[in-house]
Amino acid sequence: MRLSAFRLALLALALGVCGTVRAQTTILVTADIMTSTTWTSNNIYDLQDQIYVLPGATLTIEAGTVIASTTGLGGSLAVANGAQIFVQGTEQNPVIMTSQADLATWTGGDPKTGTWREAANEWGNLTLMGDAYVSENAVVANTPAPNAANVAPMEGLVADFVGDPKVLYGGGNDDDDSGSISYLSLRYGGKVLGLNNELNGLSLGGIGRATDIHHVEVMNNVDDGFEIWGGTVNLKYFSIWNVGDDSFDVDQGWRGKAQFGFIVQGYSLDASQGSGVGDNCFETDGAEDSDWQPVTTTSIYNCTIVGQPIDGDGLTAWRDNARVQYRNCIFMDGGEKVVRFDNIDGDGANGYGHNGTLSWANCWATSYSANSTVNAPVTPADFYKAQTSGNLCEITDSVFYHNLASVAYTEANARGVFAAANNNVMEPANLPIQSITRGTPVVKGGKLMVPVTFIDPRPANDALSVVSTAPFDGFYSPVPYRGAFAPNRNWLSGWSAASAFGFIPNASNGSVGPGQAGVAGVATLDMNAARNNNGSLVGDSADENGPHYASAQPGGTLSISFTAEPLAFITFIGGPLNPGVADFSSFGIGKMDIGTPDTTGDGIPEGLVLLANGATPTTLIDFFFNTGLDGQATLSVPAPFLPLGTNLGAFQGLISNPTLGLKLTNTVQLSMF
């Protein structure tokens, strides 16, 4: 589908992308949602109690909508198994779930303002419950082998009666679709029901891989930032800051993927560690008990983890047979171990090696393909798809900086983390991010905290390159840097609490090449240069190894030129208004069409489809050049209907031939500044 500038104008006005209309009317939400409902940006929704989206119902939340609950009432939102939620935030107009106390600090009702406070437990959280497999041994009827009848009650929710289905998650559908969440900021939450029964910022129980979650932030929470129980949900672009327990907590056999995660360890309240002061950054439990299946098996790429340098807890903690691969990450400022072997979770599980499962040491030396035979599923390959190379447990191609030397590396060294083949960088001389500023040390919960007051987390020095990128599999983005951010763009800028509170730079941070109003910016993807992994940008003399950023001001155009190689293909991954953010035309390569996200079901939002010489590719994502066929595509910026800073999408190129093998050119990001 091709959208004209006029139709784009109507779309922009409908979505409110200019951000000039703010919510006015407050709606008290007092009853569960039993039929499909839409919450709109002209209202503020105040959750008065624990609100459920019940099975069969769908809740849609429009871009720019604010859910601000009365402080102290503990209003929460839970999406039951069989229901769906669609949070439709954008970079220009995020959805914000917070408290009335936070709202009171905004200037003129503008969510891009506000003041950070030492606070949490001012409302509840967002909980999603789905139908994917889980491993939970506390429910008497559950079995240790994967079983669609295995379920578990959600932490922090209260059943109306024994077996109340609205608080249960789990099932037998790893492709469960509980909806989608994009550009969501969760602030000051974490309702406390009792000892060890607190709400996390975002709770995900039995959520399947068909659920789409990206650009989600948790700022200040009593308990964990994200907690995942089982399932296969994939996560991309997530930020967890100043939470009161673990930042990213995994239980009961999670088998999804994650990329581009940013964790800043700190405190939300002056309370004990685990209820106001941060605990582990990543805490991964395998299964309950540890010989049950499915067991946590995941691969996590491109995270930036900033710990507490004096009284922080582990940067990665491992329990109960968890199998985790960390790759292309930055681990810095840890005041405890970078690899913390907890073994058991304290809930009655038996740890690594129980009942014939692999020992802790063997997990670090055993191929990812060696699935356990204890309580095994009939077809293990159907359950364990996140890992495709390496060993079951590993940390590779990452940078470790300014971690407390006396304790940080003992276990990591014992596990061979710094063996040459792992390509890790241990304590380099220079900071692997652009900058970090900490405030005056304070004692919170009996721990000496040194809060981060400003950080520019874009990579620097050793983080600017990697040995191996993430796989090009339809979910991961194979970027040539370590950590969660590209060198020239901070994806938190503009929409997040971290941005509103002044913790990060508030610019899109980078535009290279020409981009004056009415003048073309020119980017080149040279397939012949792909042997050097080079997707160079014309006029970019600073860095020929990308990713590169082409930009245009309102009224300008971007011309993207391609030089062909045998069997080359090029894809476009759409921007925030997918489908259709601009009017595209092409020259020399046949036809270009704007499509809809992931119409092929392969997990890739197709966005734009290129068809060579009018040919129809086998799937919408594939575009094959013929030998010697060059091409050019022109993107016209539909100003003034899109605001500055709009991410228009990304081009990626891939080549394959007998001489060069299979290589990926670097991404050219298309943005408007």
pLDDT of 356 higher than 80: yes
Place 585 in a pLDDT band, splitting at 50, 70 and 90: very low
Q: Tell me: do 471 and 566 sit in the same domain.
A: no
* Total of domains in the chain: 2
Q: How far is CA 509 from CA 223, 573, 672, in A?
A: 32, 21, 12
pLDDT at residue 193, rounded to an integer: 73
pLDDT at residue 194, rounded to an integer: 62
Give the mean pLDDT of 304-323.
96
pLDDT at residue 360, rounded to an integer: 98
pLDDT at residue 477, rounded to an integer: 87
Q: Which residues contact 484 (CB under 8 A, 6 or more apart)?
A: 237, 260, 261, 262, 302, 303, 304, 330, 457
Q: Tell me: do 40 and 161 sit in the same domain.
A: yes
Distance CA 360, CA 374 (A): 16
Q: Tell me: do 247 and 381 sit in the same domain.
A: yes
Give the mean pLDDT of 308-319.
95
Give the mean pLDDT of 562-579.
36
Residue where one domain finishes, among candidates 500, 531, 553: 500
pLDDT at residue 212, rounded to an integer: 95
Which is more confidently placed, 600 or 136? Answer: 136
Mean residue pLDDT across the chain: 78
Cα three-residue angle 497-500-503, rounded to 5 degrees:
80
pLDDT of 391 higher than 90: yes
Which is more confidently placed, 619 or 307? Answer: 307
Q: DSSP letter at 531?
A: G
**For residue 254, is it within any domain?**
yes
Question: Which stretch of 170-184, 237-251, 430-444, 632-646 has the lowest confidence by average pLDDT?
Answer: 632-646
pLDDT of 571 higher than 70: no
pLDDT at residue 162, rounded to an integer: 87
**For residue 505, is it within any domain?**
no
pLDDT at residue 487, rounded to an integer: 86
Query: Is residue 582 within 8 Å of 638, Cβ to Cβ?
Result: yes
Place 27 in a pLDDT band, splitting at 50, 70 and 90: very high
**For residue 515, is it within any domain?**
no
**For residue 508, is it within any domain?**
no
Q: Which residues contact 98 (CB under 8 A, 6 or more apart)?
A: 66, 67, 68, 69, 122, 123, 185, 186, 187, 188, 189
Q: Domain of 77?
A: 21-500
Tokens of 448: 């000496």
- Residue 360, helix vs strand vs coil: helix
Residue 104 CB burial class (10 angstroms; 0-12, 13-18, ≥19): exposed
Residue where one domain finishes, among candidates 472, 500, 528: 500
Q: Tell me: do 541 and 426 sit in the same domain.
A: no
Q: Tell me: do 475 and 553 sit in the same domain.
A: no
pLDDT at residue 154, rounded to an integer: 96
Q: Tell me: do 377 and 437 sit in the same domain.
A: yes
Distance CA 642, CA 553 (A): 10
Q: Tell me: do 464 and 586 sit in the same domain.
A: no
| pTM for this prediction | 0.77
Helices and strands in the chain, H and E counts? 7, 45
**600-624: burial string, b at 16+ Cβ within 10 Å, e else:** eeeebbbbbbbbbeeeeeeebbbbb
pLDDT digits (tens, 9 = 90+) for 396-431: 999 999 999 899 999 999 999 999 999 999 999 999
pLDDT at residue 95, rounded to an integer: 98
Q: By C-alpha distance, which of 292, 317, 353 is closest to 138? A: 292
pLDDT of 12 higher than 90: no
The H-or-E segment that residue 381 falls in is: helix 380-383
pLDDT of 645 higher than 50: no
Q: Tell me: do 287 and 391 sit in the same domain.
A: yes
Cα three-residue angle 558-560-562, rounded to 5 degrees:
175
pLDDT of 454 higher than 60: yes
**For residue 513, is it within any domain?**
no
pLDDT digits (tens, 9 = 90+) for 38-71: 999 999 999 999 999 999 999 999 999 999 999 8
Tokens of 601: 């079901």
Which is more confidently placed, 527 or 304? Answer: 304
pLDDT digits (tens, 9 = 90+) for 168-198: 999 999 999 999 999 999 999 998 776 566 7
Place 670 in a pLDDT band, splitting at 50, 70 and 90: very low
**DSSP assignments along 230-257, one per residue:** SS--EEEEEEEEEESS-SEEEES----E
Give the mean pLDDT of 516-520.
31
Q: Tell me: do 452 and 563 sit in the same domain.
A: no
User: How do strand 668-672 and strand 548-552 relate by DSSP bridges?
Assistant: parallel
pLDDT digits (tens, 9 = 90+) for 103-156: 999 999 999 899 999 999 999 999 999 999 999 999 999 999 999 999 999 999
**For residue 11, is it within any domain?**
no
Q: Tell me: do 401 and 262 sit in the same domain.
A: yes
Distance CA 98, CA 114 (A): 12
Query: Is residue 673 within 8 Å of 530, Cβ to Cβ?
Result: no
**DSSP assignments along 312-329, one per residue:** ---SEEEETT-EEEEES-
Q: By C-alpha distance, which of 471, 284, 468 is closest to 387? A: 471
**For residue 196, is it within any domain?**
yes
pLDDT of 72 higher than 90: no
Place 291 in a pLDDT band, splitting at 50, 70 and 90: very high
Q: How far is CA 66 from CA 63, 97, 101, 170, 321, in A?
A: 9, 6, 13, 30, 40
pLDDT at residue 672, rounded to an integer: 37
Q: Tell me: do 118 and 202 sit in the same domain.
A: yes
Distance CA 673, CA 671 (A): 6
pLDDT of 475 higher than 60: yes
Tokens of 46: 């105040």
Distance CA 610, CA 654 (A): 14
pLDDT of 93 higher than 50: yes
**For residue 509, is it within any domain?**
no
Place 87 in a pLDDT band, splitting at 50, 70 and 90: very high
pLDDT of 621 higher than 70: no
Q: Tell me: do 221 and 315 sit in the same domain.
A: yes
Residue where one domain finishes, among candidates 500, 535, 557: 500
Place 461 in a pLDDT band, splitting at 50, 70 and 90: very high
Give the mean pLDDT of 206-212.
97
pLDDT of 473 higher than 90: no
User: How do strand 668-672 and strand 647-657 relate by DSSP bridges?
Assistant: antiparallel
